[in-house]
Amino acid sequence: MEQLGGLDAAFLYCETPTMHLHVCGLLVLDTSTMPDGYSFDNIRSMLFERLPKIPAVRQRLATAPLHVSRPFWIDDPYLDIDQHLHRLTLGPPADQKALGDVVGDIASWPLRRDRPLWEMWVVEGLSDERVALVVKMHHSTIDGVSGANLMGSLLDLEPKSSAPASPSADWRPERSPSQLELLGQGIASRLAEPWEIARLVPATALRIASTLWRLGRQGETSTPTATPFTAPRTAFNATITARRSVAFTEVSLADVKRVKEALGVTVNDVVTAVVGGALRRYLDDCGELPDRSLIAAAPVSVHDQTVEQGGTTKVSVMFSTLATDEKDPVERLRAVASANAQAKEIHKMVGADTLMRWAEHFWLNAFGLGARLYSTLHVAERHPVVHNLILSNVLGPPVPLYLAGARLVGLYPLGPIMDGAGLNVTVLSQEDRIGFGIVTCPDLVPRVWDLALAIPDALEELVSAAVGT
């Protein structure tokens, strides 16, 4: 039995009928490398053997009596992989857009709370001997680092034959705790809170004062730091519906590194500028390009700085400018790089663990009620825009990987969207390419594939301009 961390629980309680706080991953597999040839049973056999070994896959929620504390994770003694694993076949034309439609539909439905919070879908019918695996997990169970660990559990460095179709013999569920045990653990965690809050208040006040002083000096610099509540309003900064649309694309990692070396910036700077260039083109084509730059909320992993703290989700947030108000691609990248450097300094001042430590003390029932009222009353449309979108960049595996012998040839992460920020772009490198997964609400962004197609063009424009400087 393990209690959820504060951010883990916040993702659960803030979920509404329209704001689904799960994440998805789209894996495209070349089945021609499978030693025994492709069959659904081969993939199912491998998953049956490996999945029960992963805690996030075998655990379900257990709520303390009277909701005295955050919930707990306990082993599900009735775990049935077949309840979570599904199979479907695409009809013609079975192209990327058709696959995106299927993934968008999968992302449009919340996960059931009475079982472990995950699903997997094997999608057949793709061309060139390919199949897709769509993985869907609640954000309370996974973040960037734990997602990488999940991949490490399922993927191999070389093609291997599938294991026999039987559940793992290495796992036995732990005894389920009684209601009295859950109540006792919950009360114990609550009793420790006043002492922690007493320590947090002065430390947080000092950090905020230092950060405000730093922001006060912003006028002395040539590039202002991106700050929340200063973003321009766009069509996707509104109240979302339950529907999701998905698009994906990829670019050459070598091209990104060429720009990085030519201009002396980071890979993350280049990726951010590419997304900014694509959004500039998309919004300009729609006649909706704001005069001010778009601002992205960028999740930052703090696993290495919060080793002593529990929970699965260990992230902080940094705000990044996309310099969409800059027409020249090189100047856009330089503006992004300068702003990112300042944002990193401010993020250090605020403290990597500040958000996580305060999340431990949220009154989650009130927090959840507030999230539902926020959505129902369309509050996101009545105050200044906090940020325009979520932009997450994760370092992925640099080597070839295989699932049940099928080579991984496409990897696209897909994060959640929320009221007021109905666009998520998540980026993940793998081998010699970088995959971009885009999630939005079709009621706000009806042309999501236009945005996806603008990403390779934005990089090509940047490569041409950078090589010429």
Look at residues 368, 271, 28, 301 and name the one whose alpha carbon lies nearest to residue 142. 301
**Are the C-beta atoms of residues 446 and 288 closer than 8 Å to each other?**
no
**Are the C-beta atoms of residues 214 and 95 closer than 8 Å to each other?**
no
CA–CA gap between residue 452 and residue 180 (Å, rounded): 52
**Are the C-beta atoms of residues 415 and 426 closer than 8 Å to each other?**
yes
Q: Which helix (H) or strand (E) holds 24?
A: strand 22-30
Place of tokens 């009735």: 78
CA–CA gap between residue 247 and residue 239 (Å, rounded): 20
Place of tokens 């201009």: 263
CA–CA gap between residue 406 and residue 195 (Å, rounded): 52
Return the SS3 of 30.
strand
CA–CA gap between residue 322 and residue 464 (Å, rounded): 19
Which one is catalytic: 20, 138, 139, 387?
139
- Asked if 86 is an active-site residue, the reply is no
* Token code pair at residue 305: 């700085």
* Token code pair at residue 395: 């370092």
* Token code pair at residue 181: 């045990």
> What type of residue sits at position 119?
E
CA distances from 143 to 8, 197, 339, 392, 459 (A): 10, 26, 25, 11, 27
Active site residues: 139
